[in-house]
């Protein structure tokens, strides 16, 4: 019989867990959660600009949505890939909601953008390490940088997920890389 130990499950075990979870087996879904939570949490933490509490909230929301939408998983990719995309969509949806709320409360300009942890100057503290430099990026630039350079999505996929044009995705990536270089110099 397959090993049910979280974190070391081969793809075959994952497929079994998915099928069991689709049939309402909460223990199987818990195994999926345990084997994927660290990677998803890291992704969300980066998208949130290093806001651990927001990342944790979005992690929970992503897994709630995964449970609710499990029947829509067709098995054309690994469950982890499907969950990854779902989690990115949860984070982007949350950001759109926060920006709409912030847009009603506080006007924004080009230099300062609302991030997951508030307004801040993207050029503050030029001696930050790479993670802090990424966290300091404006949200759109940070999101594109993470999805393209770290997670390996193509510009067309990023454009589809974020609702921006492919050219805007490329421009945001260029902007992010330039800002990172400036911050790290």
Q: Is residue 160 part of a domain?
A: yes
Pair 126, 71 in one domain: no
CATH number at residue 64: 1.10.1740.10
Pair 93, 14 in one domain: yes
Contacts of the segment 103-109: beta carbons below 8 A, 24+ positions apart: none
Q: Is residue 156 part of a domain?
A: yes
Residue that terminates a domain, selected from 111, 133, 167: 111
Q: Is residue 116 part of a domain?
A: no
Q: What was the pLDDT predicted at 182?
A: 87
Q: Do the Cβ atoms of 177 and 121 come closer than 8 Å?
A: no
Residue that terminates a domain, selected from 77, 111, 145: 111
Q: Is residue 36 part of a domain?
A: yes
Tokens of 185: 């110099």
Residue 113, SS3 per DSSP: strand
Instruction: Give CA separation, 178 vs 103, 108, 122, 137, 154, in Å.
Output: 26, 21, 12, 10, 19
Segment 11-44, tens digit of pLDDT: 678 899 999 999 999 999 999 999 999 999 999 9
Pair 35, 102 in one domain: yes
Segment 139-158, tens digit of pLDDT: 899 999 999 988 888 999 89
Pair 76, 126 in one domain: no
Over the chain (185 residues), what is each successive 10-residue block's mean pLDDT? 42 86 94 95 91 93 95 90 93 84 56 44 48 88 90 89 91 92 83
Q: What was the pLDDT predicted at 11?
A: 61
Backbone angles phi, psi at 112, to 5 degrees: -115, 125
Q: What was the pLDDT predicted at 50?
A: 87
How far does Cα 33 stand from its chain's mean position?
A: 16
Backbone angles phi, psi at 118, to 5 degrees: 115, -175
pTM above threshold 0.75:
no
Domain count along the chain: 2
Query: Based on the number of CB atoms within 10 Å of its own CB, is 128 exposed (0-12), middle (13-18) or buried (19 or more)?
Result: middle
Tokens of 2: 């397959």
């087996």: which residue's tokens? 25
Q: Do the Cβ atoms of 165 and 62 come closer than 8 Å?
A: no
Residue that terminates a domain, selected from 60, 83, 111: 111
Q: What was the pLDDT predicted at 111?
A: 42
Pair 95, 18 in one domain: yes
Domain region containing 107: 9-111
């Amino acid at each position: 019989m397959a090993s049910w130990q979280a974190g070391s499950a081969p793809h075959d075990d994952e497929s079994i867990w998915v099928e069991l979870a689709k049939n309402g087996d909460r223990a199987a879904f818990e195994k999926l959660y345990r084997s994927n939570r660290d990677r998803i949490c890291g992704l969300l933490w980066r998208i949130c600009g290093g806001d651990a509490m927001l990342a944790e909230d979005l992690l929970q929301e992503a897994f709630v949505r995964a449970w609710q939408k499990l029947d829509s998983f067709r098995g054309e990719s690994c469950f982890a890939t499907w969950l990854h995309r779902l989690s990115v969509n949860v984070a982007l949806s949350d950001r759109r909601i926060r920006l709409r709320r912030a847009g009603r409360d506080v006007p924004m300009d080009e230099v300062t953008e609302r991030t997951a942890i508030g307004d801040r100057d993207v050029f503050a503290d030029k001696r930050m390490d790479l993670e802090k430099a990424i966290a300091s990026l404006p949200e759109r630039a940070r999101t594109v940088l993470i999805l393209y350079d770290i997670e390996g999505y193509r510009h067309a996929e990023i454009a589809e997920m974020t609702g921006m044009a492919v050219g805007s995705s490329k421009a945001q990536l260029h902007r992010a890389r330039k800002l990172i270089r400036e911050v790290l110099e």
